């Protein structure tokens, strides 16, 4: 049995996958670990939906567009069996596109559109 140590390298990652891991892990990883107190309180109350307000800089738009593309790219790598996970199911993809899209729409001054997909 061979054991890979830190000094041994496995197969090289495709450049886009390496970029994806780096950006998602370093740039967006910290923001996903922050608790959202309003959301958590709504979950504890058993609320099916909740309106949340985020104050974000306009400069976030470019990052959100990149994040949406990176997540779609990650799904492609999963489908090609380059990652040890399954791609997001269609409802998860639809939700993430709506979620990121709402930030982009509202940054542009448009009114919010509620999620109309499944709530499960």
pLDDT in tens, 57-86: 788 788 888 888 888 988 998 999 888 888
pTM: 0.68
Residue 53 counted as domain residue: no
Q: Where in the sequence is the domain holding 95, given as residue range(s)?
A: 15-21+58-110
Does residue 93 contact residue 83 with C-beta atoms inside 8 Å? no
Residue 115 counted as domain residue: no
pLDDT in tens, 79-103: 998 888 889 999 999 999 999 999 8
DSSP state letters, 30-83: HHHHS--HHHHHHHHHT-S---------TTHHHHHHHHHHHHHHHHHHHHTT-S
Residue 27 counted as domain residue: no
Residue 104 counted as domain residue: yes
User: What is the distance between the alpha carbons of residues 113 and 106, in angstroms, rounded to a whole number?
Assistant: 9
Q: Greater confidence, 34 or 60?
A: 60
Residue 28 counted as domain residue: no
Residue 74 counted as domain residue: yes
Q: Which of 51, 98, 53 is nearest to 71 (CA)?
A: 98
Residue 118 counted as domain residue: no
Q: What is the distance of C-alpha 94 from the center of its chain?
A: 12
Long-range (24+ apart) CB contacts under 8 A made by 113-119 are: 114/49, 115/49, 117/91, 118/91, 119/48, 119/49
The pLDDT of residue 51 is: 84
User: What is the distance between the alpha carbons of residues 8 and 18, in angstroms, rounded to a whole number?
Assistant: 18
Number of domains in the chain: 1
């Amino acid at each position: 049995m061979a054991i890979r140590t830190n000094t041994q390298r496995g197969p090289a990652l495709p450049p886009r996958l390496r970029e994806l891991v780096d950006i998602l892990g370093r740039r967006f990883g910290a923001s996903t670990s922050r608790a959202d107190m309003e959301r958590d309180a709504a979950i504890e109350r058993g609320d099916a939906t909740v309106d949340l307000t985020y104050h974000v800089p306009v400069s976030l738009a470019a990052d959100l567009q990149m994040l949406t593309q990176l997540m779609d790219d990650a799904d492609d790598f999963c489908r090609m069996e380059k990652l040890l996970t399954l791609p997001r199911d269609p409802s998860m993809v639809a939700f993430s596109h709506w979620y990121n899209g709402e930030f982009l729409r509202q940054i542009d001054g448009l009114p919010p559109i509620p999620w109309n997909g499944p709530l499960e």
